[in-house]
Amino acid sequence: MLTPLQTTSGRTLYVDRGFVPVTGAATQTPNVPDPPAGQVQVTGRVLPSEEGGLGAGLPARQIERIDVPGLAARDGVRAAYPAYVELISSTPAQQGLVALPPPDLTNPAGGAYVAQHLAYVVQWFLFSAFALAGPVVLLLLDRRARRREPGPRPEPAATDAPVQAPTARTAPTAPTSRAAVRCLAGASSAAAPASAVAIVSGPTRCDPHRSCSFDARSPVS
């Protein structure tokens, strides 16, 4: 049950006084007792305003969210606190309403047991340990793999023995021929004396100013 409370500062504070157990259908608005008359002193838990509007398609005097600006606009309130209060106690005391239960501070997340949250804590600590130990393990495995790899083969040692150069192939030398060369001093070889005949061996060289002829007796043994 949400009730506006006019404070001494002139601003309006919305107070959640409690709830009424449902006895009929959800579409029926239950009968709610009136708040205490006169000056009231309240003690409660301050909560922020909810966002999203009051809701649509609901029965009269029912809202879906405690949207303080929406409540102020609906009720014509000019100045309202941006939060609301869950009532703990009041003077004079409330009548005919069930007080809202206090929040479970041992389980702030709600919906799960404490042991389950502890399991999540251990799980995330393990993830952190894996993230820190992973690079170290990979580095050790890489070093071990490098040690098992065979090293480079040693090159053969250099020796001072002289290297024998390949011998050049030479054409076979033809047997030395002895040719009877008749070198004549004149243009005609017929007039040459018999003493001009010479037997030579090896390549024949002739004077360019002389005419040379070769005897058919070559080679001569």
The whole domain housing 140 covers: 106-144
Binning pLDDT at 50, 70 and 90, where does residue 111 land? low
* 82 and 120, same domain (yes or no): no
Predicted pLDDT at 61: 78
Is residue 183's pLDDT more than 60? no
What is the chain's alpha carbon radius of gyration, rounded to the nearest angstrom? 63
Q: Is residue 169 part of a domain?
A: no
Q: What is the average pLDDT across 110-133? A: 81
Whether residues 64 and 22 fall in one domain? yes
CA distance 34 to 7: 18
Let me know whether 14 and 72 are in one domain.
yes
Amino acid 84: pLDDT: 93
Query: Is the pLDDT reported for residue 171 higher than 60?
Result: no
Whole-angstrom distance, CA of residue 145 vs CA of residue 181: 87
44: nearest Cα among 20, 13, 19: 13
Kindly report the pTM of this predicted structure. 0.47
Band the pLDDT of 165: cuts 50, 70, 90. low
The CA-atom distances, in angstroms, between 132 and each of 29, 125, 128, 138 are 59, 11, 6, 11
Residue 167 included in any domain: no
